[in-house]
Amino acid sequence: MGVKRVGAFNLSLLGKWCWRMLVDKKGLWFRVLKARYGVVGGRIREGDKHASIWWNMIGRVSEGICEGVGRWFDENVRREVGNGRNTLLWYDTWIGDTLLRFQFPRLFELAVENESKVEGVGVGR
């Protein structure tokens, strides 16, 4: 195949899947994985002991747990809020470097709708 660094190549392919899960939520693979694992905070739930090795590795890449590479995916992918329709208030990094649910855990516990989008915050229903 001509690939000299198979480990780095594999990480980049897994990173591509992480990216696809963020931007292509109407795609077939997102829908299949959503049906299989469920969704928490607008994202597909992480795998457990019954999850495939592939899905667990994608979770490790997106969390930055892979050996020797640190948090490369999280550090190099940034969200632009824009109109706020695709940005989750509590589950997306959109202000600073920390999720708001970790910055304000008590407020997160008190929130009625934890999966609110930035667009809908402060809007009366």
Domain residues for the domain of 26 are 6-76
Any long-range contacts for 21-27 (C-beta under 8 Å, 24+ apart)? 21/58, 21/62, 22/77
Please, what sign has the CA dihedral across residues 50, 17, 15, 113? negative
Contact of 51 with 4, CB cutoff 8 Å: no
| Residue 124 is assigned to a structural domain of this protein | yes
Per-residue pLDDT tens digits of the chain, which is 125 residues long = 566 777 777 778 888 888 887 778 788 988 888 888 887 766 777 777 788 888 888 777 766 555 555 566 767 776 677 788 778 888 887 887 788 888 999 988 888 888 888 887 766 55
Same domain, 117 and 93: yes
| Residue 1 is assigned to a structural domain of this protein | no
Same domain, 24 and 53: yes
Direct distance between the N- and C-terminal alpha carbons of the chain, in angstroms, rounded to an integer: 57
Q: How many domains does the chain fold into?
A: 2
Same domain, 45 and 85: no
pTM for the model stands at: 0.56
Contact of 43 with 20, CB cutoff 8 Å: no
